[in-house]
Amino acid sequence: MNRRVLAFVLAAGGVLVACAGAQGQDAALIARGEYLVNGVAGCNDCHSPRDERGELVAGRELTGASLPFAATVPMPWAAAAPPIRGLPASFTPGQFAAFLQTGKRPDGTTPLPPMPPYRLNAEDARAVTAYIASLR
């Protein structure tokens, strides 16, 4: 093998290793986001439809749902949770991560209760965003 071919093969191998490392990082970030969404934040509780037995409708997770509960005192209240699967409409990944850190939409408004004003750290916000964006 001549030196030029060897140099190309070595360089290509380095690119493949770098790509595999990036894919591994993405997979780890998405897995962390899945844990946070499903195991900690409880996003499915409001943003996913349920059947007549109260169980999540398989395959419809995070596609938006009417809320089966309401405030017990008069107050502003959302009657439905919007779809967030694949990212909420009109949010970029950066805007959604910022929303999860500040509790404010890109226009500065806050969502109505029962949506809590999350204050995730930057790493967790990136992970949740990566997971939700990965869902189609």
Residue 128's pLDDT is 98
74-100: per-residue pLDDT in tens?
A: 999 999 999 999 999 899 999 999 999
Reported as a single tens digit per residue, the pLDDT across 5-58 is 444 444 445 544 444 455 677 999 999 999 999 999 999 999 999 999 999 999
Q: What is the pLDDT of residue 3?
A: 57
Q: Which two tokens stand for residue 35?
A: 């844990």
The pLDDT value recorded for residue 10 is: 44
DSSP three-state, residue 72: coil
The domain ranges of the chain are 3-134
State the pLDDT confidence band at 4, using cuts at 50, 70 and 90: low
